[in-house]
């Protein structure tokens, strides 16, 4: 049985003090979760969040990682640096990174391989725009993104990979894919991974849904057989809302 993972993507929010306070609020609310609970936080918050989460079941993630081990990459962080800071998970290829910071399928692949080589668990984001959905190319696009992201990733490394389906048209818009739409694409992700790595590997892969998952729709989304968790944006910044989603994953 694959374990559900509920990961918060805090984006550019919370000072270190605010971050520690949020984790302290969250700890008692999620302590009995049967799913994995992850908070992916801004780089300046990692130390404060790691300290606040000490001794709890909350795992710490980062929001990006560079593909190089070191070098002249101003503003970037290597996998080694993140691991040394206590980070376990890292989001790679979020649509906001692709949109605002020129991330491509190829750089996503390079970052994913560097993360895996450094001992991090990448949460690789894939998803289509509203135009692409209306053009009927969602599955083709997702297949391409998954194949390129996993290019050169071994079957053994795949065990530490999470793939998050994040329809771009549903991120921060309040629009959500229906549970059936989410299931359809998460199943397509699992199918392409099965073609690349075999049925057992595909079955073991955690596939999340992200894109305005919230306390009201989480239970229905997480009840779907191929939706193994969520990558949560806005609702992850409120302990009570995030806890409701964690509870839904525990049930689902």
What is the longest distance spanned by two Cα atoms in the chain?
A: 48
Residues 160 and 239: their CA atoms lie apart, in Å, by 27
Task: Tell me, yes or no, if 94 is annotated catalytic.
Answer: yes
Task: Tell me, yes or no, if 128 is annotated catalytic.
Answer: no
Q: Name the catalytic one among 94, 103, 183, 247.
A: 94
Between the alpha carbon of residue 250 and those of residues 80, 118, 244, 245, the distances in Å are: 32, 30, 10, 9
Q: Name the catalytic one among 63, 88, 96, 166.
A: 166
User: Which string of b and e fits 222-247 if b means at least 16 CB within 10 Å?
Assistant: bebebbbbbbbbbbbbbbebbbbbbb
Element (H, E) at 8: strand 5-9
DSSP string, 120-183: -EEEEEE---HHHHHTT-HHHHHHHHHHHHTTT--HHHHTT-EEEE--GGGSSSS----HHHHH
CA 158 to centroid of chain Cα atoms: 15
β-partners of residue 40 are 9, 61
- Which residues belong to the active site? 94, 166
């Amino acid at each position: 049985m694959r374990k559900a993972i509920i990961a918060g993507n805090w984006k550019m929010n919370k000072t270190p003090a605010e971050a520690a306070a949020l984790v302290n609020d969250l700890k008692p609310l999620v302590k009995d979760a049967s799913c994995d609970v992850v908070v992916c936080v801004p780089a300046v918050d990692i130390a404060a969040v790691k300290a606040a989460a000490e001794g709890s079941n909350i795992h710490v993630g980062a929001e990006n990682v560079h593909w190089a081990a070191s070098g002249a990459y101003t503003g970037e962080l290597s996998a080694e640096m993140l691991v040394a800071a206590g980070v376990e998970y890292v989001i790679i290829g979020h649509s906001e990174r692709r949109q605002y910071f020129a991330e491509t399928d190829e750089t996503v692949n390079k970052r994913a391989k560097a993360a895996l080589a450094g001992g991090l668990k990448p949460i690789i984001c894939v998803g289509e725009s509203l135009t692409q959905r209306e053009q009927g190319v969602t599955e083709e696009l997702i297949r391409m993104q998954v194949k390129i992201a996993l290019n050169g990733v071994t079957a053994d490394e795949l065990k530490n990979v999470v793939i998050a389906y994040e329809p771009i048209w549903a991120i921060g818009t309040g629009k959500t894919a229906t549970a059936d739409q989410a299931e359809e694409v998460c199943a397509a992700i699992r199918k392409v991974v099965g073609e690349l790595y075999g049925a057992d590997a595909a079955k073991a892969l955690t596939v999340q849904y992200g894109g305005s998952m919230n306390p009201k729709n989480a239970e229905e989304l997480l009840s779907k057989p191929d939706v193994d968790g969520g990558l949560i944006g806005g609702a992850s910044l409120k302990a009570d809302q995030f806890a409701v989603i964690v509870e839904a994953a525990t049930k689902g």
